[in-house]
Structures are given as C-alpha cells and as structure tokens.
C-alpha cells in the first residue's frame, strides 16, 4: 500500500482552509490544517510534508516570518512553500515572498485547477523521493548482507527485485520530467526533478556494480537527500 503524502494548509480563516480542502481533495492525499504560523511550526516538528500552502496575511506571526522559521530548520528547509495572498502589493511584495523561500506566489482569488496542478507536481516529486530512499535502504541491506556472506541465490533474488523496483521509479521519474518540460513548470519543480534523476542515476550505478561479473565490490550508497 502506497503511503499518502501530507500537505500542510496554513490560514487563520476557517473558510479559506475549507476552500483549500475542497480544491485539493481530488488529489487523495492527507490534508493537515494549521490556523496560525505557530501551529504550523508545531505540526512540522513531528510530520513530514510534501508541500506547504501558506497564507501571507495572518495575525501574530505572518506568512513571511513563518517561512523564515521553516527555512532555518534543517528538517524542514527543503519543503516547498506556496504563498497565498488576498492582496496584490506589487513586485516588491512578491519579491519578499520569494526571498523568504517560496517556490510560488499566488494571489487570491486563484484558479482552483492551477493551484491543484501546482501542488500535484510537488506531491509527485515527494513520492518519488520517498520511493528512492526505500530503494537506497534496500541496497544498503544488500551491501551489508554481501559482506556477511549472504547466499548467492538469495543475493541474486534481492538484486533482481531491487532492479525491477528501481526501473519502475526511473520510468515514472522520466515521465514526470517530460510533463514538467511540456508544461513549462516552475523552476523549483524542474530543479527538484533534476536532483531526483541524479540520485536515481547514482543508485542505478551502485546496483549495476553488484551484478555478477561486473567486478564491483559493493559501491558505497549515499543516503543524502
């Protein structure tokens, strides 16, 4: 069973949160509400999120300050943030949003289809990264088992399973990259997809080095995200 991604919705107005949930429910992911910047930061302490939709105008800690706290934490600094604002203050205001670490800045009222499409890209990238981490963990187990003398038949079976799983992720990542190219997607999404492809290439090389007759003695696998 594929685990659902979590999307954090941050807005001080309940009706806005309800509207976001209605728009994003079609993605069939886990939607988490936060009615303030402080509540959002608390949620980020315990859960991993694929993307954050963050309202700019909130009493107390506003969206800019909340984003600054998110980007300062090592655990959360790489989570994409989409700013939502009801007021268009011009280029300076937009620049402040990007400077705070946002990957996108959308003024209300926004097109529901556009917002859903943007969020879905980051959800897909998050899911592919999760799959890649699972493959890397399995490969590390294979490397450790090889050092301990795992039987040839068992080792070959695990290698075949790893190769098949990795091939499926590679195919999905390639399709996603083509989709991003076709849609002229956000630079942040394209850069994240490129990073994912580089990690896939490294994992494929490490796996190929373990194949019989390759001469590989167990290439090191990086766990870096």
pLDDT digits (tens, 9 = 90+) for 60-70: 898 989 999 99
Domain boundaries in the chain? 6-110, 121-210
3 state DSSP class of 29: coil
Provide CB contacts within 8 A for 144, sequence distance 6+.
Answer: none
Short-list 32, 198, 211, CA closest to 128: 198
Residue 199 has pLDDT above 80, yes or no: no
Residue 72 has pLDDT above 80, yes or no: yes
Please, what sign has the CA dihedral across residues 169, 170, 173, 179?
negative
Residue 145 has pLDDT above 80, yes or no: no
Residue 169 has pLDDT above 80, yes or no: no
Q: Which range among 20-24, 124-128, 186-190 has the greatest average pLDDT?
A: 20-24
What token pair was written down for 31?
């939607």
Residue 60 to residues 34, 36, 39, 95, 176, Cα–Cα distance (Å)? 14, 8, 12, 21, 39
112 exposure class (CB count in 10 Å sphere: 0-12, 13-18, 19+): middle
What token pair was written down for 36?
């303030």
Short-list 92, 109, 101, 54, CA closest to 73: 101
Q: 6-110, what's its fold?
A: Rossmann fold (3.40.50)
78 band by pLDDT with thresholds 50, 70 and 90: confident
Question: Which of residues 106 and 14 earns the better pLDDT score?
Answer: 14
121 band by pLDDT with thresholds 50, 70 and 90: confident
Q: pTM for the complete prediction?
A: 0.65
Residue 15 has pLDDT above 90, yes or no: yes
């Amino acid at each position: 069973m594929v685990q659902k991604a979590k999307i954090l919705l941050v807005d001080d107005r309940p009706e806005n949160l309800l509207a976001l949930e209605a728009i994003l429910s079609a993605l069939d992911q886990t939607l988490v509400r936060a009615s303030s910047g402080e509540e959002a930061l608390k949620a980020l302490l315990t859960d991993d999120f694929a993307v954050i939709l963050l309202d700019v105008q909130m009493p107390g800690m506003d969206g800019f300050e909340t984003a600054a706290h998110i980007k300062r934490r090592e655990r959360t600094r790489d989570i994409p943030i989409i700013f939502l604002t009801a007021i268009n203050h011009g280029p300076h205001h937009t620049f402040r949003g990007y400077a705070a670490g946002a990957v996108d800045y959308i003024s209300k009222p926004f097109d529901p289809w556009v917002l859903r499409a943007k969020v879905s890209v980051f959800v897909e990238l998050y899911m592919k990264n999760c799959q890649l981490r699972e493959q890397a963990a399995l490969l590390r187990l294979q490397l450790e088992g090889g050092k301990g003398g795992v039987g040839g038949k068992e080792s070959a079976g695990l290698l075949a399973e790893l190769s098949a799983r990795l091939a499926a992720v590679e195919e999905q990542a390639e399709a996603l990259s083509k989709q991003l190219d076709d849609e002229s997607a956000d630079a942040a999404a394209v850069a994240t997809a490129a990073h994912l492809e580089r990690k896939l290439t490294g994992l494929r090389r490490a796996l190929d080095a373990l194949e019989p007759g390759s001469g590989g003695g167990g290439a090191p696998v990086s766990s870096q995200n």
